[in-house]
Amino acid sequence: MLRETIRALAESKIAPFAAAVDEESRFPQEALDALVSSDLHAVHVPEVYGGAGADALATVIVIEEVARVCASSSLIPAVNKLGSLPVILSGSEELKAKYLGPLAKGDAMFSYALSEPDAGSDAAGMKTKAVRDGDFWVLNGVKRWITNAGVSEYYTVMAVTDPTKRSKGISAFVVEKSDEGVSFGAPEKKLGIKGSPTREVYLDNVRIPADRMIGEEGTGFATAMKTLDHTRITIAAQALGIAQGALDYAKGYVQERKQFGKPIADFQGIQFMLADMAMKIEAARQLTYAAAAKSERGDADLTFQGAAAKCFASDVAMEVTTDAVQLLGGYGYTRDYPVERMMRDAKITQIYEGTNQVQRIVMARNLP
Ligand SMILES: Cc1cc2nc3c(=O)[nH]c(=O)nc-3n(C[C@H](O)[C@H](O)[C@H](O)COP(=O)(O)OP(=O)(O)OC[C@H]3O[C@@H](n4cnc5c(N)ncnc54)[C@H](O)[C@@H]3O)c2cc1C
């Protein structure tokens, strides 16, 4: 039922704008409005904070179905979960009550600010600092590549509170867009997910009350990594949706397109490509849904499974979208058809929330 609901919404209210959002590199406001009006913009927020209380699998299905028509728009539910999960996992009751309500209502979005210009894969090498000053913390630094920066009201920011302790000297904070000293860089000019704003976040003497710290001092990096264990599955879902969208489009096209006097779907060379695409997607789906169940239960092997799902599904998305372009021939290579956008959008899923090399490091350290 959930899938039917979200698919109908995605096809009627999000898909019609996907090409324009990409072409104009603009935020998919229509998608945000449609998702908020159906309460699908942040389904993971627990009911006690006014949310829909969807479990990890339901959240994955929402993201998958939105990504099937518009990958940029799927970053609304995905990054709302990424940004707020540190608060849900480690925040005080006061922080949860204050920040999850507006998120659930659709009054505010949440971003996640871990990466920096010189700290990507090696996120613990961050330089952003937070210094205690009485009942306040003062934050200074630059966060880079922050999805939905400028659009989101709230930011989970990881910062160094004890430079002698590396990852154990990092703490997490909630920073608000309206806090004095917060500003944003120009939107990055990207290959894909052009509708999702990616900007730097500048923290210039941002003075916030001490109770905005998420969890204990020094636990911020652990919270950030624990968050990724759960949210990499949402990136797997995004990849899965992009791949399914490309397969669905190509499947229709090959039945219409005629060469040598018959639909190209009649050629076995084409049929084998479609069979391989569908087979890989189904394998990615099973891995992703199983990982979502593990996320919900908090299973001990979640770290491996989340990394495996993200790595596998994103590689499948890249292969399947590239094959979809191939199936459309020259037409597939133009912006008159959606598959080239899907191929460009697929690429990011191999890079963010840890590159696929980093996923392999994570898997190797947590072999079943
Ligand atoms: C569009 C977009 C949106 C993003 N959104 C967010 C966000 O909302 N919040 C956030 O905090 N971050 C975000 N990121 C950042 C993203 O997570 C990082 O770009 C990513 O983790 C890689 O870091 P890097 O770009 O510095 O690459 P680098 O770490 O410099 O990596 C360069 C290359 O070296 C490889 N490499 C690095 N170390 C190793 C190793 N030990 N072994 C083998 N290979 C290695 C990498 O896999 C990669 O191929 C986003 C990035 C993009 C592009």
- The share of the chain scoring above pLDDT 90, in percent, equals 100
Q: What spacing in Å lies between the alpha carbon of 351 and ligand 1's midpoint?
A: 6
Beta strand 129-133 with 136-147 is antiparallel
Distance CA 88, CA 46 (A): 9
For the question of whether the overall pTM of this predicted structure is more than 0.95, the answer is: yes
Which residue CA neighbors atom 24 of ligand 1 most closely? 120
Question: Which residues sit opposite 137 in a β-bridge?
Answer: 132, 208
Q: Are 293 and 302 in contact (CB under 8 A)?
A: no
Q: Are 151 and 27 in contact (CB under 8 A)?
A: yes
83: pLDDT confidence band, cut at 50, 70 and 90? very high
Pocket test for ligand 1, best of 351, 360, 361 (most atoms within 8 A of CB): 351
Q: What spacing in Å lies between the alpha carbon of 355 and ligand 1's midpoint?
A: 6
Question: Residue 247 has what pLDDT?
Answer: 98
Give the three-class secondary structure for 202.
Answer: strand
Question: Which residues sit opposite 155 in a β-bridge?
Answer: 111, 175
* Ligand 1 site, CB within 6 A: 111-115, 120-121, 145-147, 190, 193, 198, 348, 351-355, 357-358
pLDDT digits 0-9 by tens, 242-281 = 999 999 999 999 999 999 999 999 999 999 999 999 999 9
Averaged pLDDT score across all residues of the chain: 98
Averaged pLDDT for residues 21-45: 98
For the residues of 142-174, what is the DSSP string, one character each?
EEEEEETTTT-SEEEEEEES-TTSGGGGEEEEE
State yes or no: is 353 an active-site residue.
yes
pLDDT digits 0-9 by tens, 308-332 = 999 999 999 999 999 999 999 999 9
Q: Are 79 and 112 in contact (CB under 8 A)?
A: yes
Q: What spacing in Å lies between the alpha carbon of 115 and ligand 1's midpoint?
A: 8
pLDDT digits 0-9 by tens, 146-201 = 999 999 999 999 999 999 999 999 999 999 999 999 999 999 999 999 999 999 99
52: pLDDT confidence band, cut at 50, 70 and 90? very high
Pocket test for ligand 1, best of 85, 145, 201 (most atoms within 8 A of CB): 145
Question: Residue 169 has what pLDDT?
Answer: 98
**268-297 vs 220-256: helix axis angle to the nearest 10?**
150
Q: Are 19 and 338 in contact (CB under 8 A)?
A: yes
